[in-house]
Amino acid sequence: MSTSKKAAAPRPERFIVLLRHGIAEDATPDKKDEDRGLTAEGHARMKQIARGLESALPKAQAIYSSPLLRAVQTALWVSKAYRSRANVNTTDALSPAATSKQFLALIKSIQERRAVIIGHEPVLTEGLRALVGVEGLELKKGGCYGVRLLPDGKALLEWMLPPRILRKLGE
């Protein structure tokens, strides 16, 4: 008697963008870190950056964000740039205290083929290192990495865009 197991279908290739939140209010003793929002300049720049991101990755299907205010505000600008076609999902796996293990578990759990991931440094760059093994990078506020996730589980860094380039794309 032979037993045959049906092989699991390989995961489709996916593409994710790791985006650092915009310029935030300075930390002060009277304000909790999670309550720091974007500055007026941060809002204005993220509006431009989000339009540029939509140009670079026009078919994003989901947005995953840290629950901290500055990241959520960034996610809302990105959602507006996508004309609300991509829903915003908040997760502690993108908070400043998240570990690379939590970050990788989130990436593995994402079902959408194209997603924008919004968080903080050093979590995003440490997560990128865990995915692709690259060293020596750091995102400016509003900058992003473009990462291709292959069906075999490997990940490739395809591009890194600074905020000024994204703003130009959004013009």
For residue 145, what is the domain's CATH number? Answer: 3.40.50.1240
What percentage of the chain reaches a pLDDT higher than 90? 82
Number of compact structural domains in the chain: 1
The full length of the chain comes to 171
Could you report how far apart the first and last alpha carbons of the chain are, in Å? 66
For residue 140, being part of any structural domain is answered with yes
For residue 3, being part of any structural domain is answered with no
Please answer whether residues 68 and 53 qualify as being in contact, where contact means their C-beta atoms are separated by less than 8 angstroms. Answer: no
For residue 163, being part of any structural domain is answered with yes
Domain that holds residue 105: 14-25+32-169
**Token pair of 128, please?**
């990128």
- Give the span between the Cα atoms of 142 and 145, in whole angstroms: 10
Q: Look at residue 11 in the predicted model and tell me its pLDDT.
A: 77
Q: Look at residue 73 in the predicted model and tell me its pLDDT.
A: 98
For residue 162, being part of any structural domain is answered with yes
pLDDT digits (tens, 9 = 90+) for 18-60: 999 999 999 899 988 999 999 999 999 999 999 999 999 999 9
For residue 2, being part of any structural domain is answered with no
**Token pair of 18, please?**
């790791």
CB atoms within 10 A of CB 138: 10
pLDDT digits (tens, 9 = 90+) for 69-80: 999 999 999 999
What percentage of the chain reaches a pLDDT higher than 70? 94
For residue 7, being part of any structural domain is answered with no
For residue 41, being part of any structural domain is answered with yes
CA angle (108, 78, 12) in 5-degree steps: 30
